Each structure stands twice: as C-alpha cells, then as structure tokens.
Amino acid sequence: MKVNPSVVDTIGNTPLIRLRQASELTGCEIYGKAEFMNPGQSVKDRAALFIIRDAEERGLLRPGGVIVEGTAGNTGIGLALVGNALGYRSVIVIPETQSQEKKDMLRLAGAHLIEVPAVPYKDPNNYVKLSGRLAEQLAKSEPQGAIWANQFDNTANRRAHIETTAPEIFEQTDGRVDGFVSAVGTGGTLAGTGMKLKELKPDVKIGLADPLGSAIYNHYAHGELKAEGSSITEGIGQGRITANLEGAPVDMAFQIPDEEALPICYDLLEHEGLCLGGSSGINIAGAIRMAKELGPGHTIVTVLCDYGTRYQSKMFNPAFLREKGLPVPGWLERKIDIPV
C-alpha cells in the first residue's frame, strides 16, 4: 500500500511544472516547483516541519507545548497544521495588513492569533520582536514549555531547503538545472536551495527576485541595504540580512515591480490553469529575466510559493487593485461567455 502515516509525511516532494508561456517567450525551459501543493498550501510547510523537528530534537518541545511565531501567515499556517498533527498548540503574531484569507485559515487551524499594526523591524512592537518576547514569557508560564520558531534567524528553516528542496530540484531535472530564482522573505528558500544546488552543480546560477519596498536587491546589486517603492505581494521583502540569508550564493539580482509580476499570475490562471499568489509572480518574472540573460536553451527553476485563493480579496479583487492604482485583468470583470 502507498499510505502516509500522517499529513506531516506529505510535506515536500512537490512536482515541477513547466511554465508554458514563460518557456516559449524565452526559449528556455522554465519550471515552477509547486509548493502550493504542500498540505498548508505554501513553501513554508517545509520550514515549519524542520523548525519543529529541530526543537523536538533539542528537547525544547514537549507534548502539549506551545509554538510561538511572528509571521506574514504562511509559516504560521504550516506551524499550526504540523502542530495539530504532532500535538502542539500555536500562538501566531501577524501584521494586520496581511490577507484576511490567511488570518481566517490560521483561526480555522486553531492558532491563537494576535494581530498587530505593521511597523518596521527596528520598532520594539514589530511583529517578529513581539513574538520573541511572548515566547519568552510563555516559556516561563506554560507547564509544557513554549518555543519561539524564529524563522528569520533559526537556520533549521534553510536546512529544510538544503535537505529537501534542492535535492528534489536536482533529481527532477536530471541534474539539468542551470538556474534557480527565488524571492526572499526569511531567505531560507533562496539561501538553502542555492547553497545545496551549488554543491550539487557548481556552475548553476542563483538569482534573487526582489519586490519593490525590499532592501535585498540593492544589497546584492549595489552593496547597500536600501528600499524604495512598495508592493502588494505578501510574505516577501526584507530589510536586513537574516541568519538564514547569510552566505546566500547570489549571482544575479532582479528588482521586479508588481506591474510586471501580477499579469504573469493572471495569465497563468487564465491560460495555464495555475492559481498562484503574488510572490510566485515575482519569482517567475525573475526566472524570465534570468532566462533573457543566460539566453535560450537553459533550464531554469523557480518557486510557486502559495495558492492564489489566499489573496482573493486582494490581487484578484478589482476594487482593491484600482485602489492601489494597479491594472485590473479583463477577465476578472467579464461575464463568462458560454450561453447556458
């Protein structure tokens, strides 16, 4: 029988999907790693599982213990689901600007959700710092103990990509992968996958795809952590070099405006049946830019980070797009033209 003992065992081993239009446009083979097919519908299930297993191995988590995290949502969803399966509770601190759908999912999964104003990292009330302090308090008061997942600086996060994502990509492409492109939230995906792919194939090119409002592009392109502009994408963008991003082997850096990324998501849904969140659009736009730099004939892999329904009220909502001054895809407002 082919049976998984629990949902936890279904994390990872996601398929690679050929992105037809991106490939045809560039003459390269561009593939997306379908991370939305993880049980929590995002790439962050991998990090959540590795962080929890690491804490268990260190004896920090006991049955019934509490996992505390500051997250844009996806890591929280992963932690809550894996926590439920393994017998832990979760407390999630989230900036109130994140999508309603992610907050609803967190509540559905039984997480104790704390919404806080979105303030910069240097502010003591930043969601990441608040979650760290909360974990410290709960570690004292909770009889079963509490841990701070600390996805930004806990390198169990990038180990998930060193041990699983990169070897999967290498194997799935028969070692033909020439380039890998990823955006950065914590940096776990870019650094972990990048480091291991370089080990498996030293001449592979690693590309950063960065949204506006993030400082990482300027760091790699111009040597200074400087941000400009803004983006409606969620879960990506960073203002500092996290422990997970430290040492990421970045060969190329691309800065991608929403106007370039979002139409890719709309086209993929309309013509290829792929429903993806905005960070996937940033990634695919980055893969297309890398393909143009490397020239035709190369194999480039990027990450399809999460499922689009998570942003139905935002990037798939004409009123929201208009309010942000972003173009509205025609089919989003068109009636279906099948006479019934």
What amino acid positions are annotated as catalytic residues? 44
- Longest CA–CA span in the chain (Å) reads 64
**Least distance in Å: CB of 302 to ligand PMP?**
11
- The residues, any chain, with a CB within 8 Å of residue 70's CB and separated by 6 or more, are 92, 93, 94, 126, 127, 128, 129, 130, 131, 132
Residues that bind ligand PMP (CB under 6 A): 42-44, 72, 74, 183-189, 234-236, 277, 279, 305-306
Burial-class residue 177 by CB neighbours within 10 Å (0-12, 13-18, 19+): buried
Cβ 234 to ligand PMP, closest distance in Å?
A: 6
| Residue 101 burial (CB count, 10 A) | 18
Contact 55, 61 (CB under 8 A): yes
Q: By beta-carbon distance, which residue lies closest to ligand PMP?
A: 235
Q: How far is the CB of 7 from ligand PMP (least distance, A)?
A: 19
Query: Which is closer to ligand PMP, CB of 33 or CB of 289?
Result: 33
Residue 58, both tokens: 């260190």
Least separation, in Å, of the C-beta of 251 and ligand PMP? 17
Query: Which of 126, 189 has the CB closer to ligand PMP?
Result: 189
Between 75 and 299, name the residue whose CB sits nearer to ligand PMP.
75
34 strand-pairing partners: 304
94/135 with CB nearer ligand PMP: 94
CB of 256 to ligand PMP, least distance (A): 13
Residue 65 or 277: the one with the smaller Cβ distance to ligand PMP is: 277
Whether the CA torsion 21, 250, 55, 129 is positive or negative: it is negative
| Cα 207 to chain centroid, rounded | 15
- Please provide the DSSP assignment of 21-49 as one string: HHHHHHTSEEEEEEGGGSTTSBTHHHHHH
Task: Label the pairing between strands 16-18 and 29-34.
Answer: antiparallel
- What is the strand order of the sheet 89-95 is part of? 112-116, 89-95, 66-70, 146-148
Q: How far is the CB of 335 from ligand PMP (least distance, A)?
A: 31
Helix (H, G, I), strand (E, B) or coil at 329: coil
Determine contact, residues 305/281, Cβ cutoff 8 Å.
Answer: no
Give Cβ neighbours of residue 187 (< 8 Å, ≥ 6 apart).
152, 158, 216, 238, 241, 242, 244, 245, 246, 248
Nearer to ligand PMP, 23 or 157 (CB): 157
